[in-house]
Amino acid sequence: MNIPDGTLAIIGLGYVGLPLAVEFGKHRPVIGFDIKPDRIAELRAGRDHTREVPPEELAEARHLTLTADPADLNAATIFIVTVPTPIDAHKRPDLTPLIKASETVGRALKKGDIVIYESTVYPGATEEDCVPVLERVSGLTYNLDFFCGYSPERINPGDKAHRLTTICKVTSGSTPEIADKVDALYASIITAGTYKAESIRVAEAAKVIENTQRDLNIALVNELAIIFNRIGIDTEAVLKAAGTKWNFLPFRPGLVGGHCIGVDPYYLTHKAEALGYHPQVILAGRRINDGMSAYVAGQMVKTMIRKGIAIKGARVLVLGLTFKENCPDLRNTRVVDVIAELRDYGVQVDVHDPWADVEEARHEYGLHLIGTPEAGAYDGIVLAVAHDAFRVSGPDALRSYGRDGAMFCDIKSVFARDQSDLRL
């Protein structure tokens, strides 16, 4: 493959890496690398199953070379790593993708090269976990032969208003000179401007607290929703009234999943505990949010019982599986926990989501997605994800999937209070 020297390489072409590769690829030679040949074939054909980059924008990246061959990375002098950083079953950071990506980059690393990480990590991970891998594999010395930077990703999947170029980009580098180079690199494509942090650790910490802050705010309103339910008042009505104050934050209760908010706090708490400090507030927020699926399922069952519906063998339709609206992203969706809880009660659950990929749902969660639901077939309908398609259909159309007297649960309070039997 004929790739010019001095090329920029993007490692990982998911929700974060692909928009970055495409934007840079409009202006300069870029290698877009992913370990999945199917992903490369899909993108070469002009398709992006994440729907983050439309075909016409892919076509604009005339300087982008797509490959699954690590040997092609040898032509690059700047590497940007955008692989996932999930948590394991015990809610501990799983750096496996990051370490493997670092090994891949290390085999292509040369004197003078720069490696920039965008993956969400705890403060210190770049220099304590990734740099030793780069040194070991390449045989080069950090800050003598090669250099590093960190620029946290701020991609919001499904958001068509806040895009890569219109979100301020935090940058950093392992030396003052490299920090300037990294900042200038991103400034060449980010129209919203950049912010140069004073160190890699500061940039790492800034990223991880962005989503920790959101997680805690959502945990607060989730706890308020539980309290207000016991009092017997509508949470949405309370939040609307409180929202008339100029500095009241407009958070709403709900299920907290996805690749960031439900994951990132555990990276920070992991680092804190490694240093001998046990976080109180952050983990309390996580416990509340992690417990919302069981709470929602329990409230649904109670509502069905009050309506005279027999629970064992009841049929419930769950509308929406993705972790957020108008987005095909299934990563860490907490809707699956609601489904599992309902099944534990003996409920038969069908799932319909026009955005989710059928094969991915089966592979990741063992769930069979149905097509258009059958009218009048269900004892309960749950609007779990506020896709526009469901909003446009309206509550009457969604209720029509249920039998007479069926329960309708509106988790996201999409419709007016009197149009559902239950909402948070």
Contact partners, residue 225, CB within 8 Å, separation at least 6:
235, 253, 424
Across all residues in the chain, what is the average pLDDT?
Answer: 94
Tell me which residue of 14, 186, 173, 23 sits closest to 86, measured CA to CA: 14
pLDDT at position 1 over 70: no
Q: Give the pLDDT mean for 320-339.
A: 93
- Rg of the chain over all Cα atoms, to the nearest angstrom: 23
Q: Give the pLDDT mean for 96-123.
A: 97
The residues assigned a catalytic role are: 260
How far apart (Å, rounded) are the C-alpha atoms in residues 89 and 347?
25
pTM: 0.92
Tell me which residue of 108, 181, 112 sits closest to 151, measured CA to CA: 181
Query: CB-based burial of residue 250 (10 Å sphere; 0-12 exposed, 13-18 middle, 19+ buried)?
Result: exposed
How far apart (Å, rounded) are the C-alpha atoms in residues 188 and 183?
9
Contact partners, residue 224, CB within 8 Å, separation at least 6:
235, 238, 253
pLDDT tens readout for residues 173-231: 999 999 999 999 999 999 999 999 999 999 999 999 999 999 999 999 999 999 999 99
pLDDT at position 287 over 60: yes
Strand partners, 173: 149
What's the first-to-final CA gap in the chain, in angstroms?
Answer: 55
pLDDT tens readout for residues 60-105: 999 999 999 999 999 999 999 999 999 998 989 999 999 999 999 9
pLDDT at position 313 over 90: yes
At residue 160, the pLDDT reads 78
Q: Give the pLDDT mean for 368-396.
A: 95
- The proportion of the chain whose per-residue pLDDT surpasses 70, expressed as a percent, equals 99
3 state SS of 2: coil
How far apart (Å, rounded) are the C-alpha atoms in residues 409 and 416?
12
pLDDT at position 158 over 90: no
Q: What angle do CA 192, 198, 201 make, to 5 degrees?
A: 100
The first and second tokens of residue 337, run together, are: 């926990």
- The proportion of the chain whose per-residue pLDDT surpasses 90, expressed as a percent, equals 91
How is 406-419 classified by DSSP, letter by letter?
Answer: EEEEETT--S-GGG
How far apart (Å, rounded) are the C-alpha atoms in residues 113 and 142?
10
Secondary structure E strands in 269-344 = 315-319
pLDDT at position 159 over 80: no
Q: Give the pLDDT mean for 17-28.
A: 95
Q: Which residue has the higher pLDDT, 306 or 3?
A: 306
